[in-house]
Structure 1
Amino acid sequence: MTETAVMPKQSAYDAVALEAHSISAWFGEHKVLDRVSLTMPARMVTALIGPSGCGKSTFLRILNRMHELIPSASLAGEVWLDGTDIYDANIKVTDARKHIGMVFQKPNPFPAMSIYDNVVAGLKLTGTRASRREKDYLVEECLTKAGLWKEVRERLRQPGGALSGGQQQRLCIARSLAVRPQVLLMDEPCSALDPTSTRRIEETIAELRDEVTIVIVTHNMQQAARVSQQCAFFLAEQGTPGHIVEAGPTDDMFNAPVDPRTADYVNGRFG
């Protein structure tokens, strides 16, 4: 008898490894990723680097089943979270996303919704019940973890859309944390932010990594060097699908890369 797949038991911020095995992806007939395999260890930040158009963001979206929302999209391969394939037919999309949160390039709080209600919005979306006292505690906890509590604690009932861009991005991080994810995916979370807001987001990432496995797409090599412990260098050459040229500890990737193409990219000679 075949064992029915279930998502692993989830406790508060219980970081676990995420593994991609031979991921290939298409948009219609166009193949954009070719047999990408990568282990993203628990309690580390893994940075996905590489030129535009090499499939980094597509790969990131595959990690929490957003790729399948595009009508023409398809994929092959497996994504394992703590021993369970999130693409197993018995795994619901909503269950996968409880465990694997996403923060996008452009901050996307619900603009008319209050700061407080933005944070707890994920509970309703995932069908999680909580008392008012539990919600109050969760809002303070998540805003604190996102580095925003001290700035907004006196105005929790004001609209989330009234915050600055950097504050909105940290609000989105808090919203993602509210459902107790084990993995947090970030797609260029600082690309639209000023240097001060970028620094605050990077500080937040550093504080979160002991509790949540983080995977971040970034085009900023200095940022990758600052925030990550592991890097994966994606490349798509001469019309071929994106693939990983090299992956390993960030220090090695920047200071002693194995492939000359990696050295050229991290040193700004192309891309």
Structure 2
Amino acid sequence: MATTTTTSTTAPLPALGGDSTPASLEARDVSAWFGDHKVLDRVSLTMPAQQVTALIGPSGCGKSTFLRILNRMHELIGSAALAGQVLLDGADIYDRGRRITHARRQIGMVFQKPNPFPAMSIYDNVLAGLKLNGVRATRRERDGLVEECLTRAGLWKEVRDRLRQPGGALSGGQQQRLCIARSLAVRPRVLLMDEPCSALDPTSTRRIEQTIHELSQEVTIVIVTHNMQQAQRVSDQCAFFLAEQGTPGLIVEHGPTGAMFTSPRDNRTADYVNGRFG
């Protein structure tokens, strides 16, 4: 699949967090609660740099909770608690000395439902993260960054002649790619995606998958998906989550995607990827 490249000659803005190279992400013995209800039990997973890791499993097994833990969104819920570590290139993002904003600059998030700022222009949507973080840039730098990020998100050719139109006027698939461009503008090292194609038509889904493929050498990607064919198409490795009979979610098995689908070690994995439950 051909990789789209930007035509901008403007020097890129520096990463807000300093280093903009893809980072490895590692969860060590992560457990999570909502009040007294334990939803994850000692989950450990390495998500290598420059790879796409797919989190698969039935609804209610903790995949989205785990994803939100990876950039400290879990703690926004008042009743939430967690234990364990999340290491970004070996440094725990939950260390007391690390600011939440620093973690979220380096670990971006794309949600299930596209959430562009509807009254804000396409151009200003891309730059929203810079404004929120007080990053100053010249007009030329802003123009170059908008073109670069929209190109990387596979949207530039479709919107380059209407950058001042509202982001909310785009189609659902275009809005999702706009949200990806907005995330890329702050130079994340990891991009988390929570079922980014679940509300999209097949054509838009294919374009998002192509975008994931093109970005994977530049940004480490972790994606939650219920679509087994999508997991096979886009990911390098998979982790199968399961919560059985009211027990907390855990990882039954993880490994290279090909092996997970053709020769899983656990019968529960085989049953799930072959559609026998879930």
Structures share a fold, TM > 0.5?
yes
Counterpart of 1:214 in structure 2 is 221
Select which of 72, 77, 80 maps to 1:65.
72
Pairwise CA RMSD of aligned residues? 1.0
Counterpart of 1:79 in structure 2 is 86
Deviation of 1:16 after TM superposition, in Å, equals 1.1
Deviation of 1:9 after TM superposition, in Å, equals 6.1
User: 4+ residue runs of structure 1 moved beyond 6 angstroms?
Assistant: none
> Retained in 1: the 8 A contact 2:29–2:83?
yes
Counterpart of 2:239 in structure 1 is 232
Select which of 30, 46, 49 maps to 1:42.
49
Counterpart of 2:19 in structure 1 is 11
> Retained in 2: the 8 A contact 1:10–1:99?
no
Deviation of 1:11 after TM superposition, in Å, equals 3.4
CA distance in 2, matches of 1:202, 1:161: 22
Structure 2 unmatched runs, 5+: 1-15
Q: Report the TM-score when normalising by structure 1.
A: 0.96
Structure 1 unmatched runs, 5+: 1-7
Give CA deviations for 1:188-237 in whole Å, capped at 9, x if unaligned: 00000000000000000000000000000000000000000000000000
CA distance in 1, matches of 2:276, 2:134: 49
CA distance in 1, matches of 2:208, 2:133: 25
Code of the aligned partner of 1:186: M
Select which of 187, 195, 202 maps to 1:195.
202
Select which of 125, 134, 137 maps to 1:127.
134
Counterpart of 2:153 in structure 1 is 146
Give CA deviations for 1:2-34 in whole Å, capped at 9, x if unaligned: xxxxxx96334x101000000000000000000
Give CA deviations for 1:118-149 in whole Å, capped at 9, x if unaligned: 00001122232222211111100000000000
Select which of 96, 99, 109 maps to 2:106.
99
Code of the aligned partner of 1:165: G
Alignment partner of 1:89 is 2:74:
no
Counterpart of 1:174 in structure 2 is 181
Code of the aligned partner of 2:62: G
CA distance in 2, matches of 1:9, 1:132: 22
Pairs aligned (count): 263
> Retained in 1: the 8 A contact 2:17–2:105?
no
Select which of 250, 258, 262 maps to 2:257.
250
> Retained in 2: the 8 A contact 1:118–1:160?
yes
Counterpart of 1:3 in structure 2 is none
SS in 2 for 1:185: strand
Give CA deviations for 1:148-181 in whole Å, capped at 9, x if unaligned: 0000000000000000000000000000000000
